Amino acid sequence: MPLRHDAGHAQADFGEALAVIGGVERKVHFFAMDLPHSDAGFVQAYPAETTEAFCDGHVAAFAFFGKVPASILYDNTKIAVARILGDGRRQRTRVFNELQSHYLFADRFGRPGKGNDKGKVEGLVGLIRRNYLVPIPHATSFAALNEALLTACRRRLGDQLRGHDETIGERLLRDLAAFHDLPSAPYDACEKQAGRVSSLSLVRYRGTDYSVPTAYGHREVLVRGYIHEVVISCGADIIARHVRSYEREDFVFDPLHYLALLERKIGPLDQAAPLAGWELPEAFATLRRLLEARMGKQGKREFVQVLRLMEVFPVDEVAAGVRTAIDRGVIGFDAVKHLVLCRIERRPPRLDMTVYPYLPRASVATTSARTYLELLTGVAS
């Protein structure tokens, strides 16, 4: 049956394709929104078809069009539909209820297994796959790929399709006139989960363990999963931010989270998994060798104290302080901290040895043959 599409409505769905992101070929999942009246379309690519991608796709689509459709037609995705009741009514998921309440659009759902109920967006998914993602696109990141996809969507607004006297962009004006305005702030597109910190200061989200500071061990936390980030909060405080991992059973560490524990228990320093692969400037390794040569085990502890400066100061500033300390021959935590503060406060350093009694003092004298012989014989002449 030929259908008529009134202005103001939309259809949404996900599709799949291949892309090369950062030099690695991978499957991408793209969120597509089609406006059946004007044939205007929107697309964004994501690492996976997840709740946060579903929400972020809506937020980005509404921002692209500048308004919110009166209604959106979906299939019966588990992201939006928790259950189909006996009378055909849908029980929405909590996240979908939040998204809908924020933007105030009406929802409609097709019949289970009947993709032709939303044929317009199905056609858009095919068009995107054949035209925007063939040949396989190469991009440095998902952000770069999505910018290219948005450029293609804008370019298509100038097309005039068969059977129409107006371009897609001209017909889009009627759609926008029937849309309603955006809210004052966008929806926080993330998945929220309660969690608990393990004895190893790890919180599990979607099969991956993310670290938090050791002071929060065994505490209840809130995990917010975004497309490219995982944010962990305890009470009103954000205690950890990590780059999102989509690997199975992965571990994502922030070395800074474990330094306070290592300062008290210095033994595991060389076997600590969170510090493995931590790329620091070469000056830090030099400082550690000098500290351990002069102070032994206490030198390890002072080295960890130097690393803890990066909890407060940028790594570049701390590295500069370490290099200056080595150049001046003042090998110790107090000296490095003083030099870092002087750099940040833009004041000259004042390394008075009486103020820093813990700094080792060195007295270098010219070696003579007589002194050497005295050491061998053990008898002073």
Of 1.10.10.10, 3.40.190.10, 3.30.420.10, 3.30.1490.20, the CATH number of 9-178 is 3.30.420.10
In this prediction, residues 56-74 reach a mean pLDDT of: 97
Phi, psi dihedrals of residue 350, rounded to the nearest 5°: -130, 85
Question: Would you call 80 helix, strand, or coil by DSSP?
Answer: coil
pLDDT (tens digit per residue) in 264-275: 999 999 999 999
Q: How far apart are CA 152 and CA 141, in angstroms?
A: 17
Q: How far apart are CA 248 and CA 95, in angstroms?
A: 24
Question: Would you call 270 helix, strand, or coil by DSSP?
Answer: helix
Q: Where does the pLDDT of residue 356 fall: very low under 50, low under 70, confident under 90, or very high at 90 and above?
A: low
The residue type at 205: Y
Which spans in 205-276 are helix H? 259-264
pLDDT (tens digit per residue) in 220-258: 999 999 999 999 999 999 999 999 999 989 999 999 999
- Give residue limits of the domains in the chain: 9-178, 191-252, 259-345
Q: What DSSP state is assigned to residue 129?
A: I
pLDDT of the residue at 306: 96
Q: What DSSP state is assigned to residue 3?
A: -
Q: Where does the pLDDT of residue 354 fall: very low under 50, low under 70, confident under 90, or very high at 90 and above?
A: low
pLDDT over threshold 90, residue 88: no
* Least-confidence region, from 87-91, 144-148, 341-345: 87-91
pLDDT over threshold 80, residue 372: no
Tokens of 232: 């962990």
